[in-house]
């Protein structure tokens, strides 16, 4: 199957700083990428849908000014958590898909800890 990578796999940052997470599709062009957040023992919650070259569509309750998403190319999307706080500590997972493909391919996830 298709391969999606995320970087970094783990990051610890101080409260008030910003963190950028990269999501790359390694062997296919991803017209759409999704960003999810998962708290311990909970399921994946969709944060936003990102289409290449256009603004991301955020889910209700997700602050677009806090979670900046950029999908500048068909193989890269970035999520920047701005002014991070301890409550933003979570597992962030991206997925990628392409037109005509029913499956979403998930990245390995990024564990963010805000101290």
Partner 1 sequence: GQNIDQPTEMTATEGAIVQINCTYQTSGFNGLFWYQQHAGEAPTFLSYNVLDGLEEKGRFSSFLSRSKGYSYLLLKELQMKDSASYLCAVRDSKAAGNKLTFGGGTRVLVKP
| Residue 78 · residue 23 · CB < 8 Å | yes
Beta carbon of residue 32, minimum distance to partner 1 (angstroms, whole number):
4
Q: Considering only residues 29, 42, 73, 83, which one is a binding residue for partner 1 as defined by CB under 8 A?
A: 42
In the Cβ-directed half-sphere of 16, how many Cα atoms lie within 13 Å? 0
d(C-alpha 114, C-alpha 18), whole Å:
10
Kindly indicate which of the ranges 11-19, 21-29, 45-53, 71-79 contains the residues binding partner 1, using the contact rule CB under 8 A: 45-53
Cα 51 to Cα 37, 64, 95, distances in angstroms? 18, 15, 12
Q: Considering only residues 26, 103, 113, 115, which one is a binding residue for partner 1 as defined by CB under 8 A?
A: 103
Positions in the binding site for partner 1 (CB under 8 A): 1, 32, 34, 41-46, 49, 51, 57, 91, 93, 97, 101-109, 111
């Amino acid at each position: 199957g298709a391969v999606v990578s995320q970087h970094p796999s783990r990051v610890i940052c101080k409260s008030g700083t910003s963190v950028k997470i990269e999501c790359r599709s390694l062997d296919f062009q991803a017209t759409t990428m999704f960003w999810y957040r998962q708290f311990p023992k909970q399921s994946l919650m969709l944060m936003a849908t990102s289409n290449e070259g256009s603004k991301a569509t955020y889910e209700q309750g997700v602050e677009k000014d806090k979670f900046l998403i950029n999908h500048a190319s068909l193989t890269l999307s970035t999520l920047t958590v701005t002014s991070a706080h301890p409550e933003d500590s979570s597992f962030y997972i991206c997925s990628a898909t392409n037109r005509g493909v029913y499956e979403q391919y998930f990245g390995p996830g990024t564990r963010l800890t805000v101290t």
